[in-house]
Structures are given as C-alpha cells and as structure tokens.
Structure 1
Amino acid sequence: MSASPEGANVFFVLLGAILVFAMHGGFAFLEVGSVRHKNQVNALVKILVDFALSTLAYFVIGYTIAYGATFFQSAATLSGDGGTFLPQGLTLVKFFFLTTFAAAIPAIISGGIAERMKFLPQCIATLVLVGLAYPIFEGIAWNGNYGFQSFIESTFGAPFHDFAGSVVVHAVGGWIALGAVLHLGPRLGRYTKEGKAIGIPPSSLPWLALGSWLLCVGWFGFNVMTAGSLDAVSGLVALNSLMAMVGGILVALVVGRNDPGFVHNGALAGLVAVCAGSDVMHPLGSLVVGGVAGAIFVKGFEYCQLKLKIDDVLGVWPLHGICGAWGGIAAGIFGLEALGGIGGISFGAQFFGTLAGVVYAFAIGYLVYGVLKKTQGIRLTADEERRGADLSIHKISASPEHDIGR
C-alpha cells in the first residue's frame, strides 16, 4: 500500500508547522533569559497570548489579504474542494504553517519592547500588525499581489526572491520593532543623564541558551519545509541553513570576544540571513552570509545600545531587522552562478525588494505604535516598571512560592 501524495504532503507541512510553532517557545525562553527576573512571567505570557491573537487575526482577515481565500465556508469545502482548497486539508496545514510565520512578527517585537510595555496596547498592536500590515507585504512578496513582483521582474530581469522570509518575516519584524522601541524610549536606569550606558545583565544565561537552541532546531522546519511539498523539498536548503548557523556562531564568538549572549544570538543571526537565498546559494556562500550576519549582530547591537542610545533589549533590530535585510541582499550576490549559486536572481531585484520591505515595515511600526502611544499610552508607569511587569501586569512573579517564604 502506498500513501497518497496529498496525505504525504499534509504530514510534511504539518511537521514543518509544528517545528516552527516550537520556535515560539524559543522566542519565549530567549526573552526570559535576557530580561530581569521581575519580567520573566511577562515574557512567557506575551509570546503565548500574541500567538493566540495572531492566529485569530490571520484566520479572520490576514490570510485572505495575502492569498485571497476565506475560511468562512463549510468544513467539507475547507477539507478539499479541488479548487481553492487542496485535498485532505493541505491548504489548512499550509495556513497553520504560514500562521507560525505571521506570529513571529509580534514575537520578534516582544524582545525589543521588553520590561516596560503595557500589555493591552501590545495585544492591539498584534491584531493590527498580523491582521493587516504583515499580510499586505507577505502577499506582495509571496503571492504576486498588486503587481509589485511583475514590476521588479520587468525592471531587473528577475522577481524579488525571499524563499523563507529573511525580509518578509525577519526584516519586517525587526524594523517594525525599531519603530516601537523609539516610541517607548529606554528602560529606567539604562542610561545616565550624561548618556552613559549602564549595563543591565540578563537573568539567566541557561534560559537564554535554551531559547537559542529551540529556535535553531525549529529553524530547519522554518526553512526546509517552506518548500510546501515532498516533491519540492531540497537538501540544499538544509545544508545551507546549517552552514549559515555555523558561520554566525563562529564569527560572533570571535567578534563578540567569547560573550555567550553574542554566541547564541550569532547562530540566530546566521539563520535569519540565510532564509532568503537558502534554496539558491552554495553552502560555502551560506557560510560567508552567516558569518557576516554574526558580525553584523555583534557590532550592530553595540552601536545601537552604546552610540545611538536605543534600548532594544534583545537586539531584535540588528538581529532580525539588519541581518534580515542583509540576507535579502546577499541572496542577490551569493545566489549568482558566478559565485556557485543556482542563479535566476538579480542583485537589483534583491536590493529594491529589501529596501521596500524595510521602508514599509519601519513606517508601519512607527505609525501603529505612535497612534497607540497617543490614544492608549504604551509604557508602564515608573512605579510599575520598577516593580516589574510580572507583578504590575500579572500579579505574580516567576517564583511565587519563594516570594512568600515557603
């Protein structure tokens, strides 16, 4: 007996969705380890609630904006009508898979706004960003909406290529986060009146490391299973992801002077950067792309925090925003046949598409959080911030039994 191709593809995409869903646990624990103990519960709750809100927003409107299909139909139709909805619910597991990508937007933002953001305004932002803002650019890049890809192809000879979301997911999330962080301002005590940075150490390097490991493992579902079917899957994507991760780790180790936070985030920087061109680059090209991303993260984090005085707690702007943009552009360099790539890409298309994503995301982030700041207020009061988001918002700490002395 042989399984149907549709059934095999359903299982394949479902496994990818599960792996990327697990990455949200990685986002949570990366933040838990990076923030102070008094904000750990808030980090865990934010990521989980944001995922739930993202799923609802994407189900009701986001997926329809990006791909033109609505789920307000009978279960029989959704399971596979041979038209819009593929047999055996393949479209439904693809929705699950794409939902995990969409929910990465607020998960990325969460790391930048940590320790001083109000809870309700962030929930509202999640609904707007995942329901409206993200799907517009997703549809442009991955579904050819609004003629953008046709314009790029006619102008540069190839469409904008972003296989697994260096720009669509990571750069967009990172540049939206920058807008949010600029509106929030730095945490209390982060800088002196003279502008000197005061170090705020992470609460737990083991939790931080666990978050990085979970993200790294799940990333192979993020990249490889973007293929969407067994017929289209490529081992090249897996090897390129591995080599970029390794490059990010080793360069961050050297440039970051053995700092464990830089090392574990260096792995993520490499994986962020390789997403766009993981299906067209040579493994050695991916190693270089990941290595450059590792250096970009370390230097970008230091410049952001020490020179620009932007208190991006987990460094999500340099990690996702800048490294994601680098990945989009790098696909147009290392994907070229002259550098061992498969070809079919254009540097001009990659540069223009990446720039469009960056400008769009920053404008959206600055607008959404600016409106929320004016209408709702987005920052905890000084007393609430000193007490910590755990007690101020959730009325419980990460160690309640310890707090009552039992």
Structure 2
Amino acid sequence: MENTSVGGDVFFVLMGAILVFAMHGGFAFLEVGTVRHKNQVNALVKILADFALSTVSYFFVGYFIAYGTHFFISAAGLSGAVEGFELQGLSLVKFFFLTTFAAAIPAIISGGIAERMKFAPQCFATVALVGVFYPLFEGIVWGGNLGIQAWLEASFGAPFRDFAGSIVVHAVGGWIALSAVLLLGARTGRYRPGGGMTGIPPSSIPWLALGSWMLCVGWFGFNVMTAASLEGVSGLVALNSLMAMVGGILSALLAGRNDPGFVHNGALAGLVAVCAGSDILHPIGALVVGGAAGVIFVYGFAWCQNRLKIDDVLGVWPLHGMCGAWGGIAAGIFGAEALGGMGGVSLASQVIGTVMGVVYALAAGAVVYGVLKSTTGLRLSPEDEMRGADLSIHKIGANPEAEIRGV
C-alpha cells in the first residue's frame, strides 16, 4: 500500500513537471509571435538553451543552495535507499518539478531583452541566476533558510505565503528583467530623438496566441501540482486559477479595447497574480485578483513603453514583475477569512515578503547584467541588430527555403 501511494505521488508530480516544462514552449512561442520575423529563430533557441543551462546549474549548485540537498550519491540512494531521499525517486521528480520553475526565470527575462541581446552573455546570466541568485531567494521562502520566515511568523502571526510563485518565480523574474532591460537599452530606432516612438508590430498574432494558450494549459500543473502529493491536492487551487485567468482576460479585453496582445497576456497576468494565494482565496476573490491584474498589465505596459521609454519587448516587467507583486500582496487581502478566504495569512508578512523579493531581484539583475555589460558587453552591434539575431547569431532564418528562393 505504501509503494502504491508513493508511486501515485511520483506520477502526480511527474505530470506536473511535464506540464510546466511544456510552458517553456509557451514562453518560446509567445516571444516568437511578438518579435520581428528576423528574430524568431533566436527566440526559440534561447528558451531551449536556457532550459538546458538552468537544469545543469540547478542540479549541481542551485538545488543545494535552496534545500541543502545534493545528488552526489549512488543511483540506489537517489531512489530512496539513503535518508533524505524518498522512495521510488519521489525526491527526483520533485527536483524536476522545481527545475521547471527555476528555468522560468531566464525564460521570463528573455522576452524583455529580445531582439538586441548577445547570445553568450545571456547564457552566462542564466547560469548565474539559476545556479546562485534565484535559489538563494527560493531557499528563504520555500526552504525556510536564514530564519526570515520564522521571524515573520513570530512577528506578524503568519509567514510569507507564496504557494506557487507569484513572487519567488514571477516577480523575481520580472524585476530582474527590468534591471537587464535598463542596462541593455532600447532597440535601435524604437524611440526617436524628439521623444516620439516607432511602432514595432508583432510578427504573428497566431504564434503569440499559441504561446499564451500553451502557458495557460500548463499553468494548472504549475499551480495545482505544487501540492506535491495526491493527498495534498486541492480542487480549490484549480478553480481559483481558472477564475483568475478569466478575470484577467475580461479586464484586459475591456481595458485594452479588444487588442489581441492585451487579451492573451491578460490571461497570463491573472494566472501570475493568483499563484501566491491560489490555495486560500475564495473563487470570487480570485476573479477580482485576476481582473485587477489584467488592468495592471494593460496600463503598466503602456506606462512602461510610452511614459518611461523602457523598451521591454514582451512587457515582462508589467506582466510578471508588477502582477506578481500584486499577487503577493493580494494574497494577504483576499486570503483573509473576512473576505471569504481560508485565513492563516498576514498582510504585513505579504507586504514585507513582496518588497523583499522586488528589491532582491532588482539588485540581482543589476549585479549579473552589470558585470556582463562591463566585461563581455550585452548588445549586438548595430549592424547585427539591423540584420536580425537569427542570421547574426544562428546563421539561419525562420523560413530558410523561402528566403533562399527570394534571393
């Protein structure tokens, strides 16, 4: 009976890991549809290469920093013969699951720095961020490291709650991306010397939409299967994720005046925001949280691009950074029993944890990308940027046969 129970948990977590892994395809196609045609191959290669680099750096370094566990023992030990590793490799599929979360950090950043970032420096940044900087914060929130969660609970009645990563994954990724984008600078020709802005339309709305759909489907693995066991799984998380998603779609539809880019990203904004409190919110509360996130994304994107002149190509700072921060705070508001939530959450802890994540991410991004800028440089040359990252970096375009015929 014990083996059957463990086997069920192994399969459950494995399916969650596969669903979140599939989300990385969503990241890729969301970027493919948003960037210009000459940068589509680069978008695909970046996301896949970043996932591979993330897995290796997290396996050898990052997971140990976050949870104090290493894999330098026999295969039998890894499968449960040694204390600290669960039977039938349950610990191993949990690692796989958490790796897909860690790899979301460079996948998020990729959308902000698209179309003008060198390839090798981004690879170096991925290794540093996923191997060191991300797991340091992950270990504080989910591993209980440094006693910060214990201090919050003792001081305010509850630790910082981030059930599925509004802050740990999304806000951290989004605010690191802001540092990277500021250091990198805008795409050539994006902003005119007199203050105007050159419109750069998406290359493919269908590819953009496909990316959004892939992310939405995988997100139910991201949120629901964070429970990490069949015994702990909750249908409330699934319903809250659904309600937040549709809330984000509808509010972005209205605020964005039917713009398809806003609508498809609105779904993601709602899902980003609900991660933190998806296990404690009432579904109506989740709908409100997601709806607010859709509005935050639409107006945050316009403010970022038009007022601040920050060329964040996919809007990852407003989508993951702003909406993630909103989700962390919203869990402390709508998770309260007075608003129909499950309780067991402190608004003060949520605000402190959220601010801590934002400040840490900005600093981490400034350090990593600042060092790379001063050593290897970050940007493609003006000539390579004009030519496009596909031909400049990968020596092939998105439609090689058609391009050859066109010569």
Deviation at 1:155, TM superposition (A): 1.5
Deviation at 1:157, TM superposition (A): 1.1
Q: Look up the match of 1:160.
A: 160
Q: Look up the match of 2:233.
A: 233
Deviation at 1:82, TM superposition (A): 5.4
Deviation at 1:83, TM superposition (A): 2.0
Amino acid at match of 1:167: I
Deviation at 1:195, TM superposition (A): 1.8
Q: Look up the match of 2:325.
A: 325
Amino acid at match of 1:58: Y
Deviation at 1:3, TM superposition (A): 6.4
- Taking the aligned partners of 1:99 and 1:257, their CA distance within structure 2 comes to 37
Q: Look up the match of 1:386.
A: 386
Amino acid at match of 2:269: A
Q: Look up the match of 1:401.
A: 401
Aligned to 2:81, what secondary structure does the other structure show? coil
- Taking the aligned partners of 1:143 and 1:195, their CA distance within structure 2 comes to 47
Q: Look up the match of 1:36.
A: 36
Q: Look up the match of 2:368.
A: 368
Q: How many residues align?
A: 406
- Taking the aligned partners of 2:25 and 2:244, their CA distance within structure 1 comes to 22
Q: Look up the match of 2:138.
A: 138
Q: Look up the match of 1:110.
A: 110
Amino acid at match of 2:383: D
Give 1:341-380 correspondences, 5 Å limit: 341-380=341-380
Deviation at 1:66, TM superposition (A): 0.3
Aligned to 1:194, what secondary structure does the other structure show? coil
- Taking the aligned partners of 1:144 and 1:65, their CA distance within structure 2 comes to 12
Runs of 4+ in 1 over 2 A off after TM superposition: none
- Taking the aligned partners of 1:32 and 1:80, their CA distance within structure 2 comes to 42
Is 1:206 the counterpart of 2:209? The answer is no
Give 1:5-404 correspondences, 5 Å limit: 5-81=5-81, 83-404=83-404
Amino acid at match of 1:229: S
Amino acid at match of 2:159: P
The CA deviation string for residues 152-198 of structure 1, in whole angstroms up to 9 with x for no partner, is: 11111110000000000000000000000000100011010012111
Amino acid at match of 2:25: G
- Taking the aligned partners of 2:401 and 2:260, their CA distance within structure 1 comes to 30
- Which structure 1 segments of 5+ residues have no match? none
- Taking the aligned partners of 1:404 and 1:228, their CA distance within structure 2 comes to 50
Q: Structure 1 vs Structure 2: percent identity of aligned residues?
A: 75
State the Cα RMSD in Å.
Answer: 0.9
- Taking the aligned partners of 2:2 and 2:325, their CA distance within structure 1 comes to 43
The CA deviation string for residues 244-289 of structure 1, in whole angstroms up to 9 with x for no partner, is: 0000000000000000000000000000000000000000000000
- Taking the aligned partners of 1:309 and 1:329, their CA distance within structure 2 comes to 27
Deviation at 1:81, TM superposition (A): 2.4
Deviation at 1:150, TM superposition (A): 0.9
Amino acid at match of 2:231: D
- Taking the aligned partners of 1:235 and 1:95, their CA distance within structure 2 comes to 24
- Which structure 2 segments of 5+ residues have no match? none
- Taking the aligned partners of 1:337 and 1:185, their CA distance within structure 2 comes to 45
Aligned to 2:405, what secondary structure does the other structure show? coil
Amino acid at match of 2:13: V
- Taking the aligned partners of 2:81 and 2:189, their CA distance within structure 1 comes to 59
Amino acid at match of 1:201: P
Query: Structure 1 pair 257/11, CA: closer, same or farther in 2 (3 Å)?
Result: same
- Taking the aligned partners of 1:41 and 1:229, their CA distance within structure 2 comes to 38
Query: What TM-score, normalized to structure 1?
Result: 0.99
Amino acid at match of 1:213: W
Deviation at 1:96, TM superposition (A): 0.2
Deviation at 1:151, TM superposition (A): 1.2
Aligned to 2:196, what secondary structure does the other structure show? coil
